[in-house]
Chain A
């Protein structure tokens, strides 16, 4: 019930293209869905996050789409750039109550390569 499934494992996109990474979760108690970007040898950096009361959130070139009924959410990177090449992790947690669900459950990550 704590699993978050992420796909694809790796993705190669041409510069200027759209990168799409998908995640699916099982625990309906989750109410916070962040995406993290990690460069080699660095810690993850929060990219964008969404709560289930909205279906989409956009920040610059990054958009999260959220489908509560399907228990799926995705990250779209528009106009992908070589500098976006990194590993992306989706995660989920429950932020409005106690128990152990406050812990971030991470997907396995997607290695994005944007070719120039």
Chain B
């Protein structure tokens, strides 16, 4: 149990376009989902925490208007990178937990390349 999926696994887009990444908890209901960003050979950097039905809480330095997060159901959260630029190229990983204090289960990640 506790499987989290992400779609797409990798995406290439042109600069200025928007990209949506989906995160789904497949076999449990996730009250809380987290979005991370990881640069090559570096640790995970938390971008935001989202709770189902409420606005996401963004970490300091993360632009909420650029990284739109929606957590509309207990099994789905989406991250939309708006007006993507090459510097947004990264590995984006979501995690999900049944409640905010419980174990986080990570998705397989989405590789974004902005040309």
Residues on A lying within 8 angstroms of B by beta carbon are 34, 36, 41-46, 49, 89, 95-96, 102-104, 106-109, 111
Contacts and interface: CB of A to CB of B under 8 A. Distances in A.
A104 B46 contact: yes
A102 B100 contact: yes
A21 B44 CA distance: 18
Given A46-B103, A102-B100, A106-B44, 4 more contacts: A96-B101, A106-B43, A109-B43, A111-B41
Contacts of B103: 34, 46, 49
A103 B101 contact: no
A103 to B, nearest CB: 6
A44 B43 CA distance: 10
Given A34-B103, A96-B101, A102-B100, A43 B46 contact: no
Contacts of A107: 43
Contacts of A95: 101-102
Nearest to A107: B43
Contacts of A103: 34, 46, 49
Interface string B85-108: 000000101010000111111111
